[in-house]
Structure 1
Amino acid sequence: MVVFVQNSFAQVGYRGDGEGPDLAYTDQWGRRNHEYVSLGCDTLPVLKGRSPVQCYADFMRAFRDNFKHLLGHTIVEIQVGMGPAGELRYPSYPEANGTWKFPGIGAFQCYDKYMLSSLKAAAEAAGKLEWGSTGPTDAGHYNNWPEDTPFFKKEGGGVKISVKIAGIHWHYGTRSHAPELTAGYYNTRYRDGYLSIAQMLARHGAVFNFTCIEMRDHEQPRDALCAPEKLVKQLAFATASAQVPLAGENALPRYDEYAHEQILQASSLDVDGSPVDREMCAFTYLRMNPSLFHPENWRQFVGFVKKMNEGKGARWCWEEVEREADQFVLVTQPFIQEAAVALMH
């Protein structure tokens, strides 16, 4: 004979009063599950001065004493229930009232006051007080699929870390790359100083953020042997090799269409025929000031944003882009004037 012993609310004396509701596993919406006592209070004296573990122990001892004459021959195995439906798990997929349906991901059950108290204590012990306020809030609902939620999707739901790398493009065409060396970038004609940085950032899941994206080689002083386009190309290869996301930003405030076109080309990582088949993961446009909100600058900026949004490989109808930009400028004109005035004060 195999005997199943299930430790439930009824068996530990739960009657639904006093501390009762807070003994139940609870989801983030306040829905309680009464199949099993929350492990957050296992050792706390919440049952008239006794803990659930003490009650479980008494129940098991009583079972042993009452059936000891059958143990070992008639009763040869005792299966002890460890959770909902006797299983060692949280009640994350309750079917009652249609709360969960196969194959939904379920929901975390860590929001009763005892579980939250345990979380807070663990966060304090780790010196991370900010971790102790609540459980996950971006893990979706019972019937979501994993990729529907920030918490479970491939990219994750946390805040990304981005590390800014200087765009030291002057004297890039020299043998020594002196300005890069003095800044700490060991990049020379014979050594890729950015690959090791990209590899380090890849290990930590960080984004490689690079500047001078809007610059062209021929715009720079000839005697300084500047090569911002070649530098961006080097970065495109380095980050592709390290499989780290590359983000960019412009180094100087530029509002002209010529600079915008260079940013579009660089952000697609299609630099001088580079075979890198991907795009920058983000771009920061510098800087917001009254000049940006000049009517012509704002019109060009609107068109630029539309093209950036459509991404690599998009085929733009210039007339359509300009028409949409003009319409948007007209609609937003009162707000733009207000923003320009505010920035001047």
Structure 2
Amino acid sequence: MRWAVLGSAAVAAGLGALGWFKFIRDDEHVMKTVDVYVMLQLNAAEIPIDQLCKQMKQLKDVGVKGVMMDFWWSRVEKEPGYYDWSDYEKIVLLAKELGLRMQCVMAFHTCGEADGDNFVVKLPYWVIEAAKRIPGVFYEDEFGVKSEEYISIGADLERILPGRSLVKRTPIEAYSGFFKDFKRHFKSYLGSTITEVQVGLGPCGELRYPGYALSKWTFPGIGAFQCYDPFLLGDYQRYARQKGIENTVPPTKGTCGSYNSTPEETEFFKTDGLYATSEGQIFLEWYFSRLAEHGDRLLEGARTVFGPEITLSCKVAGVHWCYNTASRAAEATSGYYHANGFDCYGKLSAMLKKHNATFLFTCMEKKDKDEPSEGRCSPQSLVRETARSASLNGVKYGGENALEFKKWSFYRQIVKTAAQCQTLYPDLHYECLTLLRLDETLMKPSHINHLEQFIERMTMNESG
């Protein structure tokens, strides 16, 4: 028997942030096989194909199931409504020849604002030009600073983007057009080589607001709400009036400090602060609901295009700092409202279930004890919480590491985390783990051996 659990009642109760580790023995193998994928370089299209071929063959030889690749919006749709996939076709063909599966990211975001980004990609020039003419294309914080990482979800249904004709497109229509041409171009690979489409839903491809861009924020700051562009602000004001609120200025205005504040330094997030008032709760519910609606719209469009044979996935960010506070401020500014009894991860899981989409979650390699005490972090509890939500809603679950690493201790932690999630939640469909990221160091003999050992442990079943 590999796992020693102190009783089903303790498991059913969910266990606390520390309790589940006390009750479960450390393990070296997962109970059910978890397929391992590796992310290709952010600039994979610029890597010499001979070099990629050598690296991808090595990955195949050590047991990697497939690779993940970003299909950058600005590289494909250089002109509105015209698509060029030539930068990526040779890599898809290579994966097919090597017998590797592909997780394809529809990358509607920029690159360069996240930890580990060593490559800069902007949005298509015609999106940026539209933003110069039309207020509200991009998110805006309360200080008037815009974020160009992703089009504001407040503009989802606004006809602001040019197309092939004189008729303007909504962002949702533009994303759908991208899906349709991807399907048209790669039709012969779908369901065989291309088995998963990760729908880009926000910054870094994650379903969240750009609350903690590196150009404005330092870990473990709370970040900032991104709802002051004209479209979102107007939407909140209408929502507030419907709820009977006379003062339609968001209660977060002037009460949330700065990007690098702690919760207790702010009127909104401090203990018993404004976040716990009826007005604060109405705002936070609205902020989350608009994010969930964006995910719902985009996943519905993707499912309509790709049909049932392709796995769709949605990446949720592992915002694990400020977890051990009542307001969970850093999650809140990202759109993940999980305070006052509100369960955002359960609601997101229900939305993903509707579209038969996989719940992808980050920070699988992290340990609570390695995080700074001032950050009030608990990545392990957050992984457990999201896995539980996925299990309860019958949603497939997948993982990623938050930051690049090459040490065996991090691989071992991912195995332990996967095993513990499978043990706590026997109905959890933990499908895959995607490692960040392919590079020359990973291919060195000492490191590739770590990867091979890791894959052996992630693909062992109980009889193995």
Q: How does the TM-score come out when normalised to structure 2?
A: 0.34
Q: How does the TM-score come out when normalised to structure 1?
A: 0.45
Please say which structure displays the higher CA radius of gyration: 1
Q: Which has the higher contact order (CA 8 A, sep 6+)?
A: 2
